Chain A
Amino acid sequence: MRSATKTFVGLAGIGVLVATAKLGLPAAGANAYPVALTPGTTSSSSETTATPTPTPTTSTTTTTSTKTVTKKTTKKTTKASTSASSGSGTTTPTPTPTPAPVASSTSQTSSSVGYRFGTVQLKVTKKGSNITSVDCLNCTATNGRSAAFASLKAAAISSNGSNFGNLGGATYTTDAFKRALDNALAKF
């Protein structure tokens, strides 16, 4: 490479990296997926909170049913920023409001998927071909890993399936969640 080109490419490269780093920082800093390894971290969503012993507990079905109604249809968004590991997981991805859907919602429940940190059982609601809500019937995870479920549910809705990235620090949980999700989707 000639030195002038080298300088130009070097500066441009550094410029791009700095710019992207700046773009990436606030989004992640605001609401990063908390990778807390201390037990006791709870999440505000409806799934069962972390229990050291993964005993299956029956979930509150009342909340899930209300959720099905209140959640708005989320179009399959493919923006990178809405993907699970972008860190903006706990917030619902920017919904594209659609006029009142004509298709009626149907729900399917997955079988209970056991994995090394607990179990995952999901209830998936679809309206037409879109996933409108994913609810934890029985989701358990030790050591605060249950915090991942909120991000995973958001990712499942925004990608309208199980094609979303691995959630950093929660590889096993992601894997179990995806298996449960696929299981439920296969029943539609």
Chain B
Amino acid sequence: MNQSAPQLTLTPPNTRVRLGAKKFVQLKRSQDLIETFAWATVVFVAAMFFMDGGLARFGNLNDILQSTSRLTALIGTDLLLIHTLLVARVPWIDKLYGHDKATVAHKKLGKPILYVITAHFLASLIQFAIADGKSVVAEMISLFTTVPDMWSATVGFVLMLAVVVSSINAARKKLSYEVWYVIHLLAYISILAAVPHQFSTGSDIAGKPLQTLFWVSLYLFVALNVVWYRALAPLVLNLGLGLRVSSIVRESSDTVSIYVSGRGLERLGGQAGQFYMLRVMNKANWGKPHPFSISAAPNNRFVRFTIGDRGDFTSQLPDLKVGTRVFLEGPYGVFTEERRTKEKVTLICAGVGAPPIRALAESMAARPGDITIIYRVRSYEDAALLSEIEQVARHRGFRLHVLSGKRGSANSWLPGHLNDIPDHARLIEMNPHISESDVYICGPGPWTHAVEKSLKRVGTPASQIHAEEFAW
């Protein structure tokens, strides 16, 4: 634990920001474009199969199994590659959807893809077994040994099973992050192991130029994105930056700020409201990155994370040695000014949600009075970053409401002494412009949802509500 905080020097705020509803429409348009493209690949593989007379072959059991096997293989593989791309930390996905939404989509796709690929595996196995008049087990052994590349495809399938099983909620609770992570890395091997049999034994690629072009480009596109954005780009950046912990400052009884510095920090290119995956490069922690929001506007002196003690890895942080090497992956997240469409802004946070709000307050383009900050704390005395937020508000002419005290009624996000009128009425009282402002909310999940409910009541459109949950 270190010393005093470096003197609070505020970074000059952004001077230009593009506002207006058009911005939102453009975002939606880009999202639609990407999603349309993704669906088009699915339609393409199915259409090519149909063109090939796939539908005609559903006459008898043998045909049904064969056609099912082909169609599920095509669709399953296509979805699998999209599924991989979703978590490759590709900037053009993260910027449009946010890292969190992309991860949610990835999780949703996981099981359906396994079902489709399993259907492919079973259909082809049973079809082979029937055609040869053998038992399924005997057939599997002979497929393994005689048909080209079938053994590697089977290995890939088994690995895929392991990856999905280790990721279902029940297993996630029992496995440590490290074990789960290593198993999850097998997914890459699983995908690669299945490639050869698609080209050598499959009926839908070899000798069909259009399909060959499609699949080769799709594989290459995904592979390049994964290798570059997931592995090489962060590595190259961090080797150049040489980041180290430069000081650690206690902010409240359970919160510390970690200052990280290095060469040429502007190359990190983050924005207020974004987060990085922080990898502390010591023996115990190098294998496990943790997401943390920056708590001060990006500048070329330091990157600062303000982290609350949640009992896990975060409780070791106060004892971190100054000079420890760290790696940062990112920046991630769309909780930024880029999503702002209105002149007026309301920043609402509770407890651990304060850091990104503190950074946004410092960096958002605004005239005095444009921004209202609402900070929900347990007590004035023990609130992280409160004095800094007060300084920013005073300096820039923002209104600040600090709400302290025990929670009132069960569904309220306000302290008890402010519960005499409904939450949304209190919200209008604190900021009469609330329905025509952009609202940034950051706090624990249920609390955030309660605030969102009040916002809907006062008529703030969903397109103006930006929420970041802490649910790691």
Contacts and interface: CB of A to CB of B under 8 A. Distances in A.
Contacts of A171: 128, 147, 201
Interface in A1-31: 1-2, 5, 9, 13, 16-17, 19-21, 23-25, 27-29
A28 B66 contact: no
Interface stretch (B39-47, B83-91, B436-444): B39-47
Contacts of A155: 207
Interface residues of B, number: 45
Given A9-B36, A155-B207, A24 B131 contact: no
Contacts of A27: 53
B207 A159 contact: yes
A133 interface: no
Given A2-B28, A165-B208, A85 B52 contact: yes
At the interface, is chain A mostly helix, strand, loop or mixed? helix
A13 B42 CA distance: 9
B196 to A, nearest CB: 13
Given A2-B28, A168-B66, A168-B203, A80 B211 contact: yes
B53 A28 contact: yes
B220 interface: no
Contacts of B8: none
B209 interface: yes
B53 A25 contact: yes
B284 interface: no
A86 interface: yes
B62 A35 contact: yes
A84 B207 contact: yes
Interface in B121-137: 127-128, 130-132
Interface string B33-72: 0011001101100111011111111000011001100100
A166 to B, nearest CB: 4
B205 interface: yes
Contacts of A20: 46-48, 50-51
Contact of A169 (B32, B40, B66): B66
Contact of A17 (B46, B63, B128): B46
Contacts of A80: 48, 51-52, 208-211
B31 A1 contact: yes
A87 interface: yes
Nearest to B35: A1
Given A13-B39, A28-B56, A35-B63, A1 B51 contact: no
Nearest to A169: B66
Contacts of A24: 50-56
B202 interface: yes
Nearest to B56: A28
A69 to B, nearest CB: 27
A167 interface: yes
B23 to A, nearest CB: 15
A16 B48 CA distance: 10
A166 B202 contact: yes
B253 interface: no
Interface in B119-174: 127-128, 130-132, 142, 146-148
A27 to B, nearest CB: 6
B51 A169 contact: no
A16 B207 contact: no
Interface string A80-119: 1001111100000000000000000000000000011000
B57 A28 contact: yes
Contacts of B147: 171-172, 175
A24 B52 CA distance: 5
Contacts of A78: 209
Interface string B71-102: 00000000000000000000000000000000
A17 B43 contact: yes
Contacts of B39: 9, 13
Interface of A: 1-2, 5, 9, 13, 16-17, 19-21, 23-25, 27-29, 32, 35, 37, 78, 80, 83-87, 115-116, 155, 159, 163-169, 171-172, 175
Interface of B: 28, 31-32, 35-36, 39-40, 42-43, 46-48, 50-57, 62-63, 66-67, 70, 127-128, 130-132, 142, 146-148, 201-211
Instruction: Pick the 10 closest A-B CB pairs, nearest first.
Output: A28-B53, A28-B56, A164-B207, A20-B47, A20-B50, A21-B50, A5-B32, A85-B203, A24-B53, A166-B203
14 contacts: A1-B32, A20-B48, A21-B55, A25-B53, A25-B56, A28-B55, A32-B53, A85-B203, A166-B202, A168-B203, A169-B66, A171-B128, A171-B147, A175-B147
Given A1-B31, A163-B207, A171-B128, 7 more contacts: A5-B36, A9-B39, A20-B48, A24-B51, A25-B53, A28-B57, A166-B203
